[in-house]
Structure 1
Amino acid sequence: MEPAATMVFVYGTLKRGFPNHPRLAAFGSPFAGTASTAAPVSLVIGPYSVPFLLPSPTPSSGRLVSGELYSASPSALADLDAFEGTHLGVYERRRLTVVVEGTSREVEAEAYFADASYAEALWRRCGGEAAEIGGYTMEHAGRYIPPSGRSPGISGLMQAVHGFIATTPPDN
């Protein structure tokens, strides 16, 4: 008997038509529909135009975030964990409830959130509530720098995140 698949909610570069979607397809995770979060969460854009989902740090923060659902086998989920750097503290996989588009059906899914060790600092550095977005767009993806264009490996992203957090934001 094959282990049950896990529903995974993606909100950024893994969506169809976005830069990292071929990886998701290669992991053998079939598309299960479009959805949005059932409760507000914070989505911000960090270094390299990488999207980060965060638990809403304040009661007034957060938005409903749009994305896509995929059915991931246990091996596909392990591949996604490796890609998202869960072993390095880049992202952590957490459960959340999403609403399938065009229905009122709620689904429990897993999503990759910025690791709790830096999530709130990243939210503040990005501009807090003013920087939150409801979805990662092709415009964001146009500024995305893939792993091949960064410091080596996923650890290069962590270095960039911590460097980004440590800098003072530019005046708007």
Structure 2
Amino acid sequence: MFVFIYGTLKRGFPNHEFMQGTFQSEALTVEQYPLVVGTRMGVPFLLMFPGQGKRVKGELYMVNETQLEYLDEFEAVQQGLYFRERIQVEQLVDAPKQGIVEAWAYFRGTGGPYWACDVDSLFRNQHLEEYTQQYTKNFIPRNQR
């Protein structure tokens, strides 16, 4: 199964060492979504407002069930920080097999730690097409929060 990664788990980003699975290609969401960086911890969030925001660029990984469960734990799904939903993404030119595929993606949930802003507040922030290295300067790793 595929998972779409858009933030700090991407290659070359602060949490990539925790990414499990096999890189497939860069990818772009078929539908528009708001991608925001809006907490004082500099954490990127994809918001479940389909049709709003922008087509988001990220990375597509192949994962197995165990790796997906690990990602659920890493993304604090049980605590409500994120929830996982299937979306369609378009594999970009470097893909061995181009086209549109279904992938899991992690969206901002309604729970989590005190510093995680509510979805409505986050929605008011700038909507990004891509989480790039410039946004990592304000990112605070988990072990420093």
Q: TM-score with structure 2 length normalisation? A: 0.86
Higher helix proportion, which one?
A: 1
Structure number with greater CO (CA < 8 Å, separation at least 6) is: 2
Aligned mate of 2:140, from 114, 137, 145: 145
Report the 3-state secondary structure (helix = DSSP H, G, I; strand = E; otherwise coil) of the residue aligned with 2:67. Answer: helix
Q: In structure 2, how many angstroms separate the alpha carbons of the residues matched to 1:82 and 1:146? A: 16
Q: In structure 2, how many angstroms separate the alpha carbons of the residues matched to 1:88 and 1:63? A: 27
Q: In structure 1, how many angstroms separate the alpha carbons of the residues matched to 2:118 and 2:55? A: 19
2:34·2:46 contact (CA, 8 Å) conserved in 1?
Answer: yes
Report the 3-state secondary structure (helix = DSSP H, G, I; strand = E; otherwise coil) of the residue aligned with 1:41. Answer: coil
Report the 3-state secondary structure (helix = DSSP H, G, I; strand = E; otherwise coil) of the residue aligned with 1:139. Answer: helix
Displacement of 1:62: 1.2
State the Cα deviation string for residues 116-152 of structure 1 (Å, max 9, x = none).
x36xx74542462x611111010111211000110xx
2:34·2:123 contact (CA, 8 Å) conserved in 1?
Answer: no
Contiguous gaps of at least 5 residues in structure 2: 112-116
1:43·1:134 contact (CA, 8 Å) conserved in 2?
Answer: yes
Q: In structure 2, how many angstroms separate the alpha carbons of the residues matched to 1:56 and 1:89? A: 17
Q: In structure 2, how many angstroms separate the alpha carbons of the residues matched to 1:67 and 1:38? A: 12
Report the 3-state secondary structure (helix = DSSP H, G, I; strand = E; otherwise coil) of the residue aligned with 1:113. Answer: strand
Structure 2 counterpart of 1:49: 42
Contiguous gaps of at least 5 residues in structure 1: 1-5, 151-172
- Label 1:127 to 1:52 Cα distance change in 2 as closer, same or farther (>3 A): closer
Question: Number of aligned pairs?
Answer: 136
Query: What percentage of residue pairs aligned between the two structures are identical?
Result: 38
Aligned mate of 1:8, from 3, 11, 19: 3
- Label 1:127 to 1:96 Cα distance change in 2 as closer, same or farther (>3 A): closer
State the Cα deviation string for residues 56-115 of structure 1 (Å, max 9, x = none).
27x5x3100000000111111111000000011010010000001128610100000001
Structure 2 counterpart of 1:94: 85
Structure 1 counterpart of 2:31: 39
Structure 1 counterpart of 2:105: 111
* Paired amino acid for 1:134: E
